[in-house]
Structure 1
C-alpha cells in the first residue's frame, strides 16, 4: 500500500512541476533593418603589418573597403558593396610596384657532430 501511495504521489508531483508552456524561440528577422558603422586599422612597423577595414550599413545595403600590405611591398585594396539582391560586388586594386630582393638568402643545413 505504501509503494502505491508513493508512486501516486510522485506522479502528481511530476504533473504539477511540469511547465504550462514550452519556451518559445523567435528566429524571425529583426523588426528593423541593421544600421552600423565601424572601422579598424593595424600598423606595426616591427613586423611590417599594415591592414585595416571599414564598413557602414544602413538598411539592407552595405559598403566598405579593406586593405593589406602584401609581402612584395604593394598595397592591396578591396572596395565592395552589397545592394539588395545584387550580392557582393567587389573591386580590387593595387598600389605600388612589386619589389623583389636582388639576392635570395641561401639556406645551409646545420652541421651535425657525431
Structure 2
C-alpha cells in the first residue's frame, strides 16, 4: 500500500511541475484588449487541369486492306402455305465476292439481285424483277357470323303430382303420473 501511495505522489508532482509558474488567467494567456479582425476569405486556386486523352489517334493507313477469307454458302426457303420464297447464294475467293439472291415481294413480283463486291469497286448490284405487280381490290368488311344459342337437346320435365301426407297421429308416449304423496295423516 505504501508503494502505491508513493507512486501516486510522484505522478502528481511530475504533472504539477513546480518549475513552471501557474497561469494567471485560466489558460496561460492574457485577455485580448481589442476584438480580433474579421476573417478574410480567398477562394482556393484550382489544382486540376483538363484530362489528357488516354488513347492515341490511329495513324493514317495507306496500305492495302487485308485479304478476306474465301467462302461459299447458299440457302433457300420456299413455303407455299405461308407465301414465302427467298434464297441467297454467295462465293468469295478472298478478294472478290460474287452472289445473287431473290425474294418474293408482297405485290406478287420476284426481285432478283446479282452483285459483285471488292475493295476497288465497292458493291455493284444489278436488280431485276419478274412478274407483274398485282394490287387486288380491297374486299369490304364482312363481320364474322354471330353465333346464336344452341337449341336445347332435352325436354322440360313433366310436373310431378302433389305429395300426399303419409303420417298418422302419434300415439301418446306418456302415462298418468303417479302420486308422490299419500293421503294426509291425522
Band of TM-score, shorter chain: 0.5 to 0.7
Deviations 1:44-84 (A, max 9, x none): 01110000100000022100011100111110011100123
**Structure-1 residue corresponding to 2:104:** 69
Bigger helix fraction: 1
Rg larger for: 2
Residue number in structure 2 paired with 1:104: 138
Give the TM-score, by structure 2 length: 0.39
Structure 1 stretches of 5 or more lacking a match? 1-30
Report what 2:12 is aligned to.
none
- The answer as to 2:119 corresponding to 1:88 is no
> The residue matched to 1:54 in structure 2 has which SS?
strand
CA shift in 2, pair 1:33/1:47, >3 Å: same
> Aligned ranges for residues 1-114 of structure 1 at < 5 Å?
33-101=68-136, 103-107=137-141
Larger relative contact order (CA 8 Å, sep ≥ 6):
1
Count of residues paired in the alignment: 80
1:54 and 1:33 mapped to 2: Cα distance? 18
- Judging changes above 3 Å, is the alpha-carbon distance between structure 1 residues 32 and 86 closer, same or farther for their aligned structure 2 residues? closer
Q: Which has the higher strand share?
A: 1
Using the alignment, how far apart are the partners of 1:32 and 1:94 within structure 2?
34
Unaligned runs of 5+ in 2: 1-65, 145-186
